[in-house]
Structure 1
Amino acid sequence: MLLLYRIILKIHTSYQDLIKNITIKLAVNRGLKIGKNLFVQGIPNFGSEPYLIEIGDNVTIAEDVSFINHGGDARVTKNIEKYKDGRNFGRIKIGNNTFIGKGTILLPGVQIGNNCIIGSLSTVTHSIPSNSVFGGIPAKFICSIDQYGEKLLANNVIYPRELEKNRSQLDNYIRENLPHTYKPVK
């Protein structure tokens, strides 16, 4: 049973990787600009105008991130004489060394600076300055990247870093040695 599970998982992962790579190549052919070392988890949604999107170097985009670069809501207002010519398009730009969390929605006209973290399930409705961490709906300032880095160091998970070269050994070490401590109730 375990072997069958692994085979199915491998087929599923291979299929998703194929769709992801095709999606990215099609978007690049339609004008998406991407820098070096883009890492995308899952299948991205670059919207219907990928030519309005620019992604910097060393960017990570988690699963289910959506780039919304125009407002489809004009389908309603164009049927009202007074607003028939109203349209909404906007560029989206992501700076270097930035992480966009799972399920995030980026709305038209936003720019995310360098060295930023956008928390999972956020909706980015306005531009975000460099060196900052934002999250929520709508995304709000949480802390600076320096403050976040200090939190990571203060809560550092100690393990032999050489295990990072072998994921199964790292998984086994963490499984056996990570303490059962949890965040306090607020």
Structure 2
Amino acid sequence: MTSAISSGNLIVDPNAPAAVDLRHYDQSWFERGRPGWTILLWWLMQATLFPLTPHSAHGLRVSLLRRFGAKIGRGVSIRPTARFTYPWKVEIGDHSWVGDDVVFYSLDQITVGAQCVISQKSYLCTGSHDLQDPAFGLQTAPIMIGNGAWVATDCFVAPGVQIGANAVIGARSTVLKNMPNQQVCWGSPCQPRYPRVFRN
């Protein structure tokens, strides 16, 4: 590693040895859930046909996802630029919306309840790495989002997180722990702020 910094306080030691050795990275244990040819076919479909579908063709996109094993309820709206790593590890309840550029990084199960909104550019991430493992081992954990919840634009939801029913996650929040039912939450890290009160 070389540095172009020639003055000021250098806080990075370019000669410090790396404690991580990525040559020993091994994810052979990881179960993708489908044969390699199915995965390649899905990625090809997602890169070509899926994003070229008409904006209002939610039913067509839902049908494609179902054909690849996703469990999707009635009346679900999914934008053409949404991305699903492994759709067979995704379940979405009735009448939910998935916005443009949402990423379902579904190395593990992602369950979205009914009447939910996952707004544009949000990232549901079920995979990470063991920070204490010199081989940088893969770790996965499921995400569950309760009925009626809204994950607003550009949020990051970490592996293992559960978001309660009717909760709201404010824009650009980083959700690293479970959020309770019917609370308005935001921040990096995300915290519950006050109850979500519905008008009669």
TM-score w.r.t. length of structure 2:
0.56
CA drift at 1:23: 10
How far the C-alpha of 1:13 sits from its partner, in A, is 9.5
Of 98, 102, 107, the match for 1:40: 98
Q: Secondary structure of 1:46's partner?
A: strand
**Alignment gaps of 5+ in structure 1:** 1-11, 154-186
- 2:152 equivalent to 1:101: yes
What is the distance in 1 between the residues matched to 2:106 and 2:89?
A: 11
CA distance in 2, matches of 1:143, 1:13: 41
Instruction: Tell me the equivalent position of 2:120.
Output: 63
The equivalent of 1:54 in structure 2 is: 111
Question: Residue 5 of structure 1 aligns with which residue?
Answer: none
**Shift in alpha-carbon separation, 1:89–1:59, aligned structure 2, 3 A:** same
Change (3 A) 1:117 1:22: same
For the structure 1 residues 99 and 56, does the alpha-carbon distance in structure 2 shift closer, same or farther, using more than 3 Å as the test? Answer: same
Percent identity over paired residues: 22
1:91 corresponds to 2:137: no
- 8 Å CA contact 1:23–1:44 kept in 2: the answer is no
The residue aligned with 1:111 is 162
Correspondence for 1:122 among 155, 173, 181: 173
Secondary structure of the structure 2 residue equivalent to 1:88? strand
Q: How far apart, CA to CA, are the structure 1 residues paired with 2:188 and 2:174?
A: 5
Cα distance in 2 for partners of 1:117, 1:123 equals 13
Instruction: Please say if residues 151 and 168 of structure 2, whose CA atoms lie closer than 8 Å, have aligned partners that are also in contact.
Output: yes
Distance in structure 2 (CA, Å) of the matches to 1:140 and 1:122: 9
How many residue pairs get matched?
Answer: 131
Cα distance between partner residues in 1 of 2:97 and 2:139? 29
Counterpart amino acid of residue 103 in structure 2: N
Write the letter of the residue equivalent to 1:66: Y
**Contact conserved, 1:23 with 1:43, CA < 8 A, in 2?**
no
Q: CA deviation at 1:88?
A: 2.1
TM-score (norm 1): 0.60
Aligned to 2:191: 140
**Matched letter for residue 115 of structure 2:** N
Q: Which residue of 2 aligns with 1:4?
A: none
Cα-to-partner distance string for 1:121-167 (whole Å, 9 max, x where unaligned): 11100001101010111111111112xx47xx9xxxxxxxxxxxxxx
